[in-house]
Amino acid sequence: MKRNNYILTALATLFLAGCVDLNYHEGTSRDEEWTYNNPRIGIKGMIWDVYSQMFNELELINNDDYNGALKASATDEAEFATSLSEIHKYSNGGWNPANPFSSTWQTSYRAIAEIHTYLEKIDQLDLTPYQYDTDYETLVRQYELFPYELRFLRAYFYFELARAYGDVPLVTTTLTNVQANSVTRTPVQDVFKFIVEECDAIAEYLPYSYKNEPFSEIGRATRAAVLGLKARALLYAASPLFNTNSDKERWKEAAVAAKDLIDRAAGWGLALGDYGALWGHNAFFGQEIIIGLGVSANNEFEKDNYPVGVEGGNSGNCPSQSLVDAYEYQNNGETFKQRHPGSVNITTENPYEGLDPRFALTVVKDGDSWPINSSQSRPVEAWSGGMNGLPKYGGTPTSYYLRKFVDGNSVTTYNNQTSYRHTWIVMRLAEVYLNYAEAMFNYYGDADAKGDLGMSANEAVNMLRNRPDIMMPEFSGSEGWQERYMRERMVEFAFEDQRFWDVRRWKKGSDFFKEIGLANLVKSANGDIVLNRTTKTRRWEEKYNLYPIPQSELQKNKSLVQNPGW
């Protein structure tokens, strides 16, 4: 499931190696001299190498440790069906500094080091040998954009580091080994400040679209991506985990940044679209996606998530009852759990009828015809003893299967398999609206207050709920707003790697991650299928809000200090 980019080996044993050079994988047949003496191919290839290291949960290269699991299965969104995945260590106490099993530290600093190498050696580039080529002007234009794209990527990787580890070394130049092994951690608010300042500095130099740029390439940094990253960084900076002195002005800054992008979105071709169009073969071109990472045609994600009992299906990330309980009914906003707090006979009563349309677009339930391709489609039997249920190995432990991001058109049979493109969503316009809503409410304490920005928190949330394919009851008033908002965010961004981080920045792990709701479907003697609620207790400690710094890095750099509790 790798994108078709060259992959770099580690630049050094530490995150910023001494006198970093371009230590490419030997399969690329490129070295530093070749790269800078052949800018038409070499430099462009290096830029794509950096892009390829952005975190993409649909790619096996970034998911090897998890054996097909998404981080959603380390939250209350899902339970992974098999015990083999490392993902369970997030909730069973199996991760520690010696076995952090996340590549965030290494990947981010490796990418940052590559970026510094380019930025510091840009003056070596000589395009004059190409001045008589017909595409010379377009070549120059493309290379003018590269430094700003790389500065965006550096800000992106520093954000990934900050939200995972908190205080991290903030380095903006190439270091020697001695220097790298003595850097100290920069306060996280200073890291967020750097990200914001970088975004402000580069936004005007990047296009809002590459349609009119050389080669019309997609998947590159845009003005919207820059403003979106800025707004996201400010939201995290304002959140309880990082805003330790409860500075309300940080919420105002986050709201202003989000509103800036919202006001520009239409002019840049961005708009809220149908929820079901966010994934699938052509999702990469969707008008709502601000940053999307394309994955070439394959059916590995389908094999990882099709129900056991479907040929080629291995089960996988199974939506939890906790997630299902968060969906509201369209008629009055009452949640599934509020209407059905205990067991329910789903044969005589359909508890799913009238639920938020996002439910059916995200979750496969018992009786659904799935997958939808004609050669494999059949009703799912998620009940105990059914074709797709326990006690089969890999049978869903939650009574549900995953639909979101899974292309049901893909055929996974031994013969005549079919594959489709996939898109991992890094950021989309809906997030900007919800980020704005959260920031506005936390600043004003009133969900209907518009302040000087002209849009209230409720109005921002309702932009999503009023989409033609959703049409959910509007948010109004402020009573219970935080709870409703957290539920809305869980439903909207299910399986998009938001919940894992949201609960941490809210410092709500004890509320949401200690015990998750599951369901057990039992077929009675008369053939009725009954949903019985169950729970699973998971391990949660406050130290889990931040990742442990890898022990290997602490051993090399005695100036680094471990995160509290680790």
Q: Where are the beta strands (DSSP E) in 178-337?
A: 289-298, 317-319
Looking at residue 60, its pLDDT comes to 57
Within this chain, do residues 261 and 118 fall inside the same structural domain, yes or no?
A: no
Within this chain, do residues 282 and 364 fall inside the same structural domain, yes or no?
A: no
Within this chain, do residues 457 and 500 fall inside the same structural domain, yes or no?
A: yes
Looking at residue 43, its pLDDT comes to 78
* Start-to-end CA span in the chain (Å): 34
Whole-angstrom Cα distance, residue 152 to residue 196?
10
Q: Where are the beta strands (DSSP E) in 17-122?
A: 78-80
Residue 408 lies in a domain: yes
Whole-angstrom Cα distance, residue 302 to residue 316?
10
Within 13 Å and on the Cβ side, how many CA atoms surround 315?
29
Within this chain, do residues 79 and 119 fall inside the same structural domain, yes or no?
A: no
Residue 192 lies in a domain: no
Within this chain, do residues 376 and 462 fall inside the same structural domain, yes or no?
A: no
Residue 57 lies in a domain: no
Residue 212 lies in a domain: no
Looking at residue 25, its pLDDT comes to 32
401-402 and 363-364 strand pairing: antiparallel
DSSP for residue 409: T
CATH number at residue 120: 1.25.40
Backbone region of residue 399 per phi and psi (left: phi > 0; alpha: psi in -120 to 50; beta: other values): left
Residue 60 lies in a domain: no
Within 13 Å and on the Cβ side, how many CA atoms surround 480?
5
The dihedrals phi and psi of 499, each to the nearest 5 degrees, come to -60, -40
Whole-angstrom Cα distance, residue 8 to residue 27?
10
Residue ending a domain, among 466, 482, 505, is: 505
What are 133's two structure tokens? 């080529």
Looking at residue 66, its pLDDT comes to 74
Contact 318, 78 (CB under 8 A): yes
By C-alpha distance, which of 423, 418, 425 is closest to 372?
A: 418
DSSP for residue 328: B
Range of the domain at 179: 1-52+103-184
Residue 278 lies in a domain: yes
Within this chain, do residues 29 and 115 fall inside the same structural domain, yes or no?
A: yes
Backbone region of residue 417 per phi and psi (left: phi > 0; alpha: psi in -120 to 50; beta: other values): beta
Whole-angstrom Cα distance, residue 429 to residue 23?
37
Element (H, E) at 534: strand 529-537
Report the number of distinct structural domains present in the chain.
3
Within this chain, do residues 35 and 179 fall inside the same structural domain, yes or no?
A: yes
The dihedrals phi and psi of 522, each to the nearest 5 degrees, come to -125, 135
Within this chain, do residues 242 and 267 fall inside the same structural domain, yes or no?
A: yes
Residue 200 lies in a domain: no
Whole-angstrom Cα distance, residue 268 to residue 372?
35
Whole-angstrom Cα distance, residue 556 to residue 550?
10
Within this chain, do residues 319 and 395 fall inside the same structural domain, yes or no?
A: yes
Within this chain, do residues 31 and 110 fall inside the same structural domain, yes or no?
A: yes
Contact 522, 530 (CB under 8 A): yes
Whole-angstrom Cα distance, residue 385 to residue 306?
18
B/e letters for 491-511, b = 16+ CB within 10 Å, e = fewer, are bbbbbbbbbbbbbbbbebbee
Within this chain, do residues 321 and 381 fall inside the same structural domain, yes or no?
A: yes
Q: Where are the beta strands (DSSP E) in 332-459?
A: 344-345, 363-364, 401-402, 420-428
As to burial, measured by CB atoms within 10 angstroms (0-12 exposed, 13-18 middle, 19+ buried), residue 98 is exposed
CATH number at residue 469: 1.25.40.900
Looking at residue 137, its pLDDT comes to 86
Looking at residue 472, its pLDDT comes to 97
Q: Which residues pair with 292 in a beta bridge?
A: 425
Contact 504, 544 (CB under 8 A): yes
CATH number at residue 518: 1.25.40.390
By C-alpha distance, which of 44, 67, 47 is closest to 57?
A: 67
Whole-angstrom Cα distance, residue 502 to residue 93?
20
By C-alpha distance, which of 346, 320, 321, 325 is closest to 335?
A: 325
Encode the chain (566 residues) as per-residue pLDDT tens digits.
333 322 222 222 223 332 233 333 323 334 666 566 677 777 778 888 899 999 999 985 445 567 889 999 999 999 999 988 899 999 998 999 998 877 899 999 999 999 998 898 877 778 888 888 888 888 888 888 999 999 999 999 999 999 999 999 999 998 888 888 899 999 999 999 999 999 999 999 999 988 777 666 778 899 999 999 999 999 999 999 999 999 999 999 999 999 999 999 999 999 999 999 999 998 988 999 999 998 889 999 999 999 999 999 999 999 999 999 999 999 999 999 999 999 999 999 999 999 999 999 999 999 999 999 999 999 999 999 999 999 999 999 999 999 999 999 999 999 999 999 999 999 999 999 999 999 999 999 999 999 999 999 999 999 999 999 999 999 999 999 999 999 999 999 999 999 999 999 999 999 999 999 999 999 999 999 999 999 999 999 999 999 999 999 999 999 999 999 99
Sign of the four-CA dihedral 427, 430, 436, 437: negative
Within this chain, do residues 129 and 117 fall inside the same structural domain, yes or no?
A: yes
| pTM of the full structure | 0.92
Whole-angstrom Cα distance, residue 47 to residue 45?
5
Residue 160 lies in a domain: yes
